[in-house]
A and B are shown apart, each in its own frame.
Chain A
């Protein structure tokens, strides 16, 4: 499947106000280009929730090989019709980088998404904590 260690975990993040750019998982820090991809993915918002797909914990991994950015992600449920929308929104966001020619979204269902995968910032926005 994929490297679970590369997934963003709630504890990896710091409050938005304290970070100049998005916090990215440890493996991505080694590659500045991948780090920029994570930054741009913060702009892909789930329109119903109003929160970006990184903070929702939907993105498991991002790779950049031969100018193709591959985003391995899940949705809150396989019956969600937003996969096409996410595909377009991710392509629109990432192809703004000159080093990206195209994007690919790999949807995976194992492990299933759960609210524990959301970041503290997302939980704060959804009223989990005051």
Chain B
């Protein structure tokens, strides 16, 4: 059931296929990555404002729409870019471009919901990308990834319809949770998982999805059902994901596994909080609400699970997307450990125990960990590029200085 349909691609139209790697649009990637970084920096600034630091608030939308901008703007650009690079054709790049341009429009207070509409169109293009992949080779994990993209479209539509962010934020979590879970489902085939394991995954993902739908009508019930789904997904990932095997490896493979396993723990924490608290709409939103259940419910997932996943995948995805190598060093453990320790400080010391200083320090250091990781990654990429150029130059000189062949 989980395995791709054998022989399906033999009947697929000839026009559907991946663009060969060397014919892909490498020049389109840097500006999209740059836009994602701008959106990230805007989101981080507003994050500090929410933490109550004495900083000037940015544009109204940048502040109020901090959540959707971080998920659909920043992460949406990266997720869609990864998929566009994988598929290859020019039209696929409309997805990350729409997420980036729409995000910048929202951040700049563009009128009449223009930015929200453009971002939502980006989600539709992402759905089209997954449909194209499905026509090449049908698979269950691709259906789960498509469900994540559909969550993007639903969240965007609710945003356009002026729903408050807390009312549709479960759908934003749906975008990321289903996207990541779908990828892990695909890799879990490497462990030789059983048919029963596949059914259990679909039950967990289905429960989470049902919770999202119910949350549109009855928030408390929907959030709690989705929370049960999150816990089930976390348990499934901890039990069946390939990380349980690769954590015994070395180097970058072990680093990735550890980052992922830590993320699954936070996913479970988020699920428990969703079940326990059961609502996203709080009256104190918009103020520096330390000790906020809302803060804990969201950042356990968005920081603990999602950002840990990004830290894990960057050494693989950055070379794939940028076409430049990102050599792994043990220094990558520094921001990873920092992220998880400071998130504990924020959620336990700040949100659970109500200590405002812990909450603010934890939140601010979460951002430092993220920026430290980006700085380390950028430095590694630049250093590797310089080394490769120098090696190429030496080889060229050696070739020119060697005697001509007779």
Tell me the chain A residues, 57-99 only, with Cβ under 8 Å from chain B.
76-88
Q: Is the CB of B192 within 8 A of A112?
A: no
Cβ contact of A109, chosen from B136, B246, B252, B320, cutoff 8 A: B136
Q: Is the CB of B323 within 8 A of A84?
A: yes
Contact with B along A97-127 (1 / 0, CB 8 A): 0000000010101111111001000010111
Q: Is the CB of A77 within 8 A of B18?
A: no
B residues less than 8 Å from A115 (CB atoms): 189-190, 192
A residues less than 8 Å from B136 (CB atoms): 78, 109
Tell me the chain B residues, 1-23 only, with Cβ under 8 Å from chain A.
3-10, 12, 17-18, 20-22
For chain B, what secondary structure do more than half of its interface residues adopt (helix, strand, loop), or is it mixed?
Answer: helix
Cβ contact of A107, chosen from B18, B192, B316, B317, cutoff 8 A: B18
Residues of B within 8 Å of A, CB-based: how many?
54
Nearest residue, chain B, Cβ from A78: B136
Q: Is the CB of B320 within 8 A of A79?
A: no
Contact with A along B11-50 (1 / 0, CB 8 A): 0100001101110100000000000000000000000000
Tell me the chain B residues, 234-259 only, with Cβ under 8 Å from chain A.
242, 244-246, 249-254, 256
Nearest residue, chain A, Cβ from B251: A50
**Residue A49 at the B interface, CB < 8 A?**
yes
Q: Is the CB of B256 within 8 A of A77?
A: no
Segment among B65-73, B78-86, B151-159 that sits at the interface with chain A: B78-86
Cβ contact of B133, chosen from A78, A112, A123, cutoff 8 A: A78
Nearest residue, chain A, Cβ from B132: A78
B residues less than 8 Å from A47 (CB atoms): 252-253, 256, 315-316
**Residue A128 at the B interface, CB < 8 A?**
yes
In the complex, what's the smallest C-beta–C-beta distance from B70 to chain A, in angstroms? 22
Q: Is the CB of B319 within 8 A of A85?
A: yes
Q: Is the CB of B21 within 8 A of A87?
A: yes
B residues less than 8 Å from A87 (CB atoms): 21-22
Instruction: Indicate whether A48 sits within 8 Å of B7 (C-beta atoms), given known contacts A78-B86, A85-B319.
Output: no
Nearest residue, chain B, Cβ from A91: B22
Q: How far is the CA of A111 from the CA of B187 in the complex (A)?
A: 18
Q: How far is the CA of A114 from the CA of B86 in the complex (A)?
A: 19
Known: A79-B87, A84-B85, A118-B190. 20 other contacts (CB 8 A): A47-B256, A48-B256, A48-B316, A49-B253, A50-B250, A50-B251, A76-B189, A76-B190, A77-B4, A77-B141, A77-B186, A79-B186, A81-B86, A81-B317, A107-B18, A107-B20, A110-B9, A115-B190, A125-B245, A126-B192
19 pairs of residues in contact across A and B, judged by CB atoms under 8 Å: A48-B187, A49-B242, A76-B189, A76-B190, A78-B18, A78-B86, A78-B136, A79-B86, A81-B83, A83-B21, A84-B24, A85-B319, A85-B320, A88-B319, A112-B8, A114-B4, A114-B189, A115-B190, A118-B190
B residues apposed to A, CB below 8 Å: 3-10, 12, 17-18, 20-22, 24, 82-83, 85-87, 130, 133, 136-137, 139, 141-142, 145, 186-187, 189-192, 242, 244-246, 249-254, 256, 313, 315-317, 319-321, 323, 325
